[in-house]
Chains A and B, each alone.
Chain A
Amino acid sequence: MTHNEIHVDSIEVTTVINGHEVLLCIDPSLRLIDVLRDKLELTGTKEGCGEGECGSCAVLMNGLPVNSCLVPAFQIQNCTIETIEIVDPGLLQPLLKSGAAQCGACTPGVVMTGEWIVRNPDVLDNGNIRELMAGNLCRCTGYDGIINGMQDRINQDLPGGIE
């Protein structure tokens, strides 16, 4: 076995999670969501479908939205992971006002996908908010609350706003 072959019980990964560098010794068959919730007790991220369809487990990995239920933990080596816990609650007032959260199961994923759009408004060239957030399913709000709240949240950060 070469030095790069890693066997069975545990692997070591170094990663930056919510701004903190962490060294983890983990079972290689874990997913990113398992590491977040069970190893690091970052339980803000929710598991919904476990098959990449609902987006409730969305987090940012190297700045891009990903479903943490589909990310093998062995691939987070040297990555930057951001979860709902890093988001300043004060910035979420527009979402609260618009009724973007009801039962709350989808909310962490919605907020993290929204963070990606807020930080990278040029992605709106590839689709409107509703299209870019189509990977975050919500059974409560009918989406208008989410879309309107996101629009206001983006306008908060962009003096000129968006159309």
Chain B
Amino acid sequence: MLLMFNLIIEACVRVPGVVGATIGTVSGLILGQTAVEAHLVHPLLIVVVAVASLGSFVVPDYSLSVSLRIGQLLFLAAGRLFGVYGMLLLLTVGAVRLCALRSLGSPYMAPSAPGRPHNPDGLTRGPIWRQRWRTWLADPARRLRVRGPMRGWEASHGRTRR
């Protein structure tokens, strides 16, 4: 089913204008309904494949979505051959592979891995006055942000954290 869905997507990309979208919708509906009625696949599988394929379109970059679709096929093969263990192994090896990559000299998965001990900004922004050092990712000429107290008004009370 995934292969069929990918075939439809590639056909839609290559057929221009409104015709492409129509082909995609009609062929998707017809193929899906026929496959279920002929008892070739379970209806749940259609839902899973549709959600998985829609998920690949969330990525704005087309080439990245293609690599995600290849990943889907790999996970499918691993799951079929070795079950949940195969999928977990592939997930782990994929994570290791992504973390080992470098892009323009910087780790591909930074700042998630390796982390930034002195700059803990992630989903939330940490207090800037506790970040005395600039992040190493940006390759700053001067890593030290401020020498002395980070907040001037605390200097007189001696509460500055170094």
Q: Do A and B bind each other?
A: no
Residues of B within 8 A of A (CB): none
